[in-house]
Structure 1
């Protein structure tokens, strides 16, 4: 009896294996249509994949967007740093170009002053409270600088050396408020003759130098050049000071004052030349006297 049941189970197992193999063979063969069970199973699996893939893709897209934003932020940060560097570089190039142009003008001016000994210097300090009074340059006694030497830019005469140390000098500008700061000047009048006067002061409101002592009966056209006269043997002759803007009668009625537009820009001074005659006759104190 037990042997019968054992054989029966064996027969059922073999039949099941044969059916399974038949089903597998039937399912894997090529055919144009799926069976109903296969279609159902495929639909169930596809629906499950859809349910899983939608949030999975959303999560993937979300973190992908965060990654893109981070990448964009990093790139923008790099680009901004690059733009800042280019802006700074452009500013430095502009400053160097302006500095180079001023130095070239100084060198060109030096050729025009071949009759004089010139010492090139750079402005290193300027007091904001006395902007139109003094400048400090990087040359002193060791470079041959002495008091009362004339100081010019590429445009024209700006002042005189007031004090000197071994390595530095202080320059008093023509625009300084100092009644003792007088410069002997000359210009050519309508009669083609030299007219002399003295630069005495600076009008801050008009931004002009005051050329005083011109005879009342002389006529001077606007735009006539004013230059150092060289009469006192302190400043070289012919250094440009400026051009006449207008004439104003003095209170006494005997003389006139010419408003002279400075040839040099007293506000923007970076490079200068200290000038003395080729034959140094000695520097005398100009306080109270003309040059």
Structure 2
């Protein structure tokens, strides 16, 4: 019996091999017509392939879109960072350009003030108190700065040295509302001059007040106002501003002119301290009429 089953298994194996070889040969043979089993298998496989193809493509496309979105986000962040750097660099370049122009103007101004040996300084702080509006500069007695010296920018007068230390000084601006604030000034009217005093500041109009001008003098709009030098605190001829309007005082005895400052008093960075005592040709007939030192 065992021998019989052994021979039977061998016979089945041989038959299976023959059938397999026949099927392989049959499948390799080119046929014009496909049998219905093959058609059924192919159609079934195609149907399921079509069903799963669209979702698979959608999922694959979604992952690709997510990768593209992540890549776009990263590129956008890099571009934003570079844009911020560009804006910052542009601001720095503009600031350097402004400083360069201001320093060039100061150098040109030094030629006009060479007889006074002006001292260049930089603003390091500011007190916005309108009654005692001051700025701090980085030069003091060690650099030759002394109390009551005039302080200007390349455009015009801004104030005087109020106090000093060895390395720093406090400058009282012309916009200070200190009642002792007073600057002897003159207005050029053709070949003639009218004299008065800068006393006070109109905060609404943002104009200096040039008071005590004689009513006999006709002050025109646009007339240039400079220091008169009569107080021996400020050198003569430092530019202050231009007249914008004039009004007669309450009792009709004097006039007050509203003066637009040449200097930008809201944006001060570089200044020069001027010592009137170094004037080689002072006017000995001048008298000190600037009360309170300003």
Report if TM-score (shorter chain) is over 0.5: yes
Q: Do residues 79 (structure 1) and 62 (structure 2) align? A: no
SS of 1:251's equivalent in the other structure is coil
Distance 1:129 1:32, change over 3 A: farther
Distance 1:183 1:13, change over 3 A: closer
Distance 1:224 1:30, change over 3 A: same
Distance 1:290 1:223, change over 3 A: farther
Aligned to 2:240: 241
Deviation at 1:28, TM superposition (A): 0.6
Distance 2:21 2:7 in 1: 21
Q: Structure 1: any 5+ residue segments left out of the alignment?
A: none
Q: 5 Å matches for 1:163-178? A: 163-178=163-178
Distance 1:246 1:73, change over 3 A: closer
Deviation at 1:165, TM superposition (A): 0.7
Moved more, 44-53 or 155-164: 44-53
Distance 2:149 2:4 in 1: 139
Aligned to 2:105: 105
Aligned to 2:28: 28
Distance 1:169 1:6, change over 3 A: closer
Deviation at 1:133, TM superposition (A): 1.6
Q: Structure 2: any 5+ residue segments left out of the alignment?
A: none
Aligned to 1:266: 265
Q: 5 Å matches for 1:133-152? A: 133-152=133-152
Moved more, 105-114 or 41-50: 41-50
Contact 2:130 2:177 in 1 (8 A): no
Aligned to 1:288: 291
Distance 2:165 2:156 in 1: 25
Distance 1:34 1:103, change over 3 A: same
Distance 2:181 2:71 in 1: 67
| 1:167-204: CA deviation from partner (whole Å, max 9, x where unpaired) | 111111111112222211122324x2232222222222
Distance 2:92 2:138 in 1: 22
Distance 1:94 1:274 in 2: 26
SS of 2:118's equivalent in the other structure is strand
Contact 2:175 2:200 in 1 (8 A): yes
Moved more, 158-167 or 121-130: 121-130
Alignment size in residue pairs: 288
TM-score, with length taken from structure 1: 0.85
Contact 1:214 1:257 in 2 (8 A): yes
Distance 1:56 1:66 in 2: 15
RMSD: 3.1
Contact 2:162 2:172 in 1 (8 A): yes
Deviation at 1:157, TM superposition (A): 0.6
Aligned to 2:47: 47
Q: Do residues 221 (structure 1) and 224 (structure 2) align? A: no
